[in-house]
Amino acid sequence: MIAKIAAELGPWAWWVLGVVLLTLEVLMPGVFLVWIGVAAVLTGALSLLLWEAGWWVWQVQWLVFAALSIAAVLVGRRLVARNEKRTDEPFLNQRGQSLIGRTATLEQPIAEGRGRIRLDDTMWNVQGPDLPVGTRVRVVASSGRDLTVEPV
C-alpha cells in the first residue's frame, strides 16, 4: 500500500513536504525545521533525477531523507554557531548578572541571611552573612531577583 501511494505521489511529494516544513519554520521559528525542509527538497531533487531507477524505491528515499536530515542539521548547527556575534552588552536583559562585582551600602541589615541594598535607583533583596546597616558589601552572585553579597 505504501509503495502504491509513493508511486502515485511521485518525486513532487518531497518538494511538497519540504515546502510544508519550511512554511512551518516561518510560522514557528526555531531554526530546526528549516534543515529538515532542506533535506526534503534535496531528496525531491534526487527523486527527480533517479525516479526511473529500479532501486530508487520509497524505502531508499526515506533512508536518504533521514541521512540528509541529520547531515543538514549538523551542518546548520555549525553555521549558526559560527555566525554568533560577540556583543558589547553580554548581560543585556540579565540585570542581576550585570550587578556582580558592584559594591553598595546596606539599607536594611542582613538578619537571618536576608537584607536590602540600593543600587542606582533600585532596592534589591540580598542574601549573605548577618551584617548591620551601613556595611559596605560586594555583589558576588545573582539568582533570580535576589543578590548574594559579602562584606568588602
For residue 82, how far is the Cα from the chain centroid?
Answer: 14
Grid cell at residue 129: 552573612
Instruction: Give CATH for domain 95-151.
Output: 2.40.50.140
> In the chain, what are the domain boundaries?
2-82, 95-151
Residue of higher predicted confidence among 31 and 145: 145
Confidence at residue 6, expressed as pLDDT on a 0 to 100 scale: 58
For residue 13, how far is the Cα from the chain centroid?
Answer: 31
Q: How many residues appear in the chain?
A: 152
On whether the pTM is more than 0.85, the answer is no
Instruction: Tell me how crowded residue 87 is: count the other CB atoms within 10 A of its CB.
Output: 8
Residue of higher predicted confidence among 92 and 129: 129
Instruction: List, as one string, the DSSP characters of 4-49.
Output: HHHHHH-THHHHHHHHHHHHHHHHS-SSSHHHHHHHHHHHHHHHHH
pLDDT averaged over every residue in the chain: 86
- CB crowding 49-77: b at 16 or more within 10 Å, else e: eeeeeeebebeebeebbeebbeebbeebe
